[in-house]
Chain A
Amino acid sequence: MIMLYFLILPLLAACLAPLLRPKAATYLTTLFFMLPFFSILYCIFYGCAEIHLTTFSPPIGEIYLTADFISHAFGLTICIVSAMVALFALPYMEHRFEEMELSVDGEFRKYIFLYDLYAASMLWLVYSGNLILLYIFLEIALITAFLLIYFYGYGNRRWVGQLYLIWSLIAGVLTLAGFLIIGINNDTLALKYIATVGKYAWPFIFVGMVIELPVLGPHVWLPWAHAEAPTPLSALLSPLTVGLAGYVLLRIALIDYSFIVSYRNYILAYALFSSIYAGFSVFKQTDFKRLLAYSTVSQMGYMLVALCLGPFGFIGLVIQYMSHAFGKSILFSSAGGIIAVHHGLRDVRQMGGLHDSIPAISNAAVVGFLNLGGILTVGMLGEFFILRGVVDTFLKPDSSYSLGWTGSLPIILAVILMFILSVWYGFYTIRKVFYGKPKDTKRLEISRYLYVPLFIIGIISVLLLLPPLSTALIPGLKSVIWPLMGMGGVAP
């Protein structure tokens, strides 16, 4: 099967796109991310084999590209979001360069190179079959994102860029330490051959990835970075990058779940608290992008919660990543749309009634919040599997961690509150930003790039809920997760 070779295209785009003029470069980028998207879809329906790249001596071991459904699910998301945000970025970045008084053509070359490399490295990260390869792509993503903030961000962008760099480096170094311990213990870093993770490696990886995710405590870097980054970058950083920490944790947990099991209640409590905490924070934000950033923290809490909930939670984690990525890329892009159309408007207090001037962007934002809330989109499945994980872990009479109905009531209530909050802050924000008495009822003519890509993402997010996509994807995830969790393939 050659389908996975399409993954080379995004890397190629990083080399070729800078040679072209902005419009052509954008189209090339979109095309080179859409082709892998379709090839991954093909893989989901018809399957494809992993690709062996090379083998190093221990402790690195074989380097290969995985071809399982977890990678497909993440890869699919990364491809479509990167492709669509690239389209959105065309008018946005041109506008930004003019605003910064830079030459559009010249800067666009720099920008598109960084953008493509950034997105491609994330795509490769989820297909990396070797932890060292994974780490390398993690770092490339980190540095390219840092440069994008540093060059084209808003406000005190240099300071924010450094802040982001330092936090991510701490996360990266801790994770690398964990990976190295794994390598030394197992004599290989190839995912399929790693037998144990061990009690020394897990804490490093866990702490590192929890900073990257982020949850309460280290979460304070995220609002800065996401708010001050140029919006197309925010629209990748928040939906795709931070969630990759969840991906790494999932991969490690699939090898060795013991760490999570031993500290399950603490981690779960922390994750729930963090998510609810961030959910409440959203209501008080005045900067639209910061508001979205706090919502990211809340949503990433979902992922950590899901990680504690066994195999069903894992499926929930993967779907939650997808649904959050769709929703948040739409939302950041609509925030960008407002910035572009309304001359840098970001203060929620000065918004209100914006639907009249930019109905398309407003409606896109609704689709975005529907994704976050898990209403009529693939997020519904995510929530359903997470809830099932809760019941499976804590309520099932034959589960060894069963707390009984009354004993697990606090957990149930907290999970419910966590899910409710997303819709609450979502629709509260929509009302505050887009509805109410409009200041200006004139409909503005805006570039199609600013909203059509968002609706395409929205349509994909709905299609993924329905057959045949979910029919193929969910059992596929099961086929990966169940054997690794020591469960049979029989229907539960």
Chain B
Amino acid sequence: MGYSKRFTIFAHIALIGSILIIAFPVIFALIVSTHTFQESFAFPPPFHIGGNIVHNYVAAWNRVDMGRLLFNSSFISVAVSIGKIGLSMLAAFAFTYFGDFRGKYFFFILILITHMLPLPIRIVPTFELMDDFHWINSYYALTIPFFASATGMLLFRQFFLTVPDDLCDAARMDGAGPMKFFWKILVPLSKTNMMALFLIEFIYMWNQYLWPLIVTNTNDMRVVQIGIKMLLAGEEQAAEWNVIMAGTITAMIPPLIILLLMQSSLVKGFVMRQEK
């Protein structure tokens, strides 16, 4: 099915136009992050790269202790992604390979309910719980409450249901127990799904704002999203946009790299499920 020449040209123009419009805010932010304070205040605004790039990124880095913020965000994002993958794979394994054990349906619904209870619905009691546990300003508060994942459980359950029974039978014939089958067969087969889930959960966790805002209040436990707010709020008079944008760009680079590296797994993991 070829397209007419006119249509092809139209499609290219429409795509390039949309991409430029969508990218424009970030391109402009990048430009501003290379200028001096005075240049960033020019009106009309600057549309070329400036020469102050190193100064701005260093200033943003030092002003909010960016190294620490990046470490905290990376740590909690990786920890939560791995925790969710591990817990949801085990739960999915229980739901697919052990027949109808008593209470199975109840537990299944319990984990699914996670979707109906986003943080704002239980925010005050969950915060008080953190206080009772003495988890305020700790990595525990920033990670453990996020560990359950209905998304992951459903994703892996659906995938496990498509794994041929022969594999399981063969493993049992060889005398392999359930956990050996899980480690040696299911985990290696699930690689694409694990990567897709890692990508989604990493970005989700990296972008968390409200929960870190309320359960941390010391500079060494803050995450990078709150760092952006700190850069913005530090302004007494005119906003120092060049430094703020340097900080903002820094905060968006890690999830962007993860997305670009792993995007194929996302589409594969998802499309594969669609087709089954």
- Determine if chain A interacts with chain B: no
